[in-house]
Amino acid sequence: MGMVLLILLLALLLFGLGFVVKALWWIAVVVLVIWVLGFLIRPATAGGRRGRWYRW
C-alpha cells in the first residue's frame, strides 16, 4: 500500500511540475514579445532621434 501511495505521489508531483514548466514557457514567450516590441516601438526624443526604451 505504501508503494502505491509513493507512486501516486510521484505521478502527481511530476504532473504538477510539468504544468508549472509549461506555464513558465508561456510567460517567457510573452516577456520576449514585449521585449521585442520595446525595441520596435520607441518614442522619439526632442532631437528627432530614437530614445532609449530602458532607464539605465
Q: How confident is the model at residue 26 (pLDDT cuts 50, 70, 90)?
A: very high
Average pLDDT, the chain: 81
Asked if the structure places residue 51 within a domain, the reply is no
In degrees and rounded to multiples of 5, residue 50 shows phi and psi of: -75, 135
Q: Which domain holds residue 20?
A: 1-41
Q: How confident is the model at residue 55 (pLDDT cuts 50, 70, 90)?
A: low
Give residue 28's pLDDT: 94
**One-character DSSP codes across 10-35:** HHHHHHHHHHHHHHHHHHHHHHHHHH
Residues 21, 10: Cα–Cα separation, whole Å:
16
Asked if the structure places residue 24 within a domain, the reply is yes
Total domains in the chain come to 1
Q: Look up the pTM and report it.
A: 0.58
Query: What mean pLDDT is predicted for residues 19-44?
Result: 85
Asked if the structure places residue 53 within a domain, the reply is no
Asked if the structure places residue 26 within a domain, the reply is yes
Contact of 38 with 53, CB cutoff 8 Å: yes
Asked if the structure places residue 50 within a domain, the reply is no
- List, in order, residues 6 or more apart from 53 with CB less than 8 Å away: 38, 39, 41, 42
Asked if the structure places residue 23 within a domain, the reply is yes
Give residue 36's pLDDT: 83
